[in-house]
Amino acid sequence: MAETEAAGELRRIVTEIAREVEANAAEIERAGDAKEEGLAPGPFGIAVATINGDMVLGGAADTPFPLQSIAKVFALELALCAIGDDVFKRVGREPSGDPFNSIVDLERTGGIPRNPFVNAGALAVVDILVESLDDDTQARAVVDFVRHHGQQDEVALNEEVLASEHEGGDLNRAMMSFMRHHGNLRSSLDEVMEAYVKQCAIMLDCEGLARTGLFLARTRRNPQDEEADAVATRMRKLLALMMTCGHYDGSGDFALRVGLPAKSGVGGGILAVVPETAAIAVWSPNLDQHGNSMLGVRALEMLAHRTGWSVFGPPLIG
Catalytic residues, which ones? Answer: 69, 72, 196, 248, 266
CB 187 within 8 A of CB 131: yes
In the chain the first and final C-alpha atoms are separated, in Å, by 18
CB 239 within 8 A of CB 216: yes
CB 147 within 8 A of CB 206: no
Residues in the chain: 318
Q: Residues annotated in the binding site for substrate, as ranges? A: 69, 119, 165, 172, 196, 248, 266
Q: Residues annotated in the binding site, as ranges? A: 69, 119, 165, 172, 196, 248, 266
| 226: CB partners within 8 A, 6+ apart | none
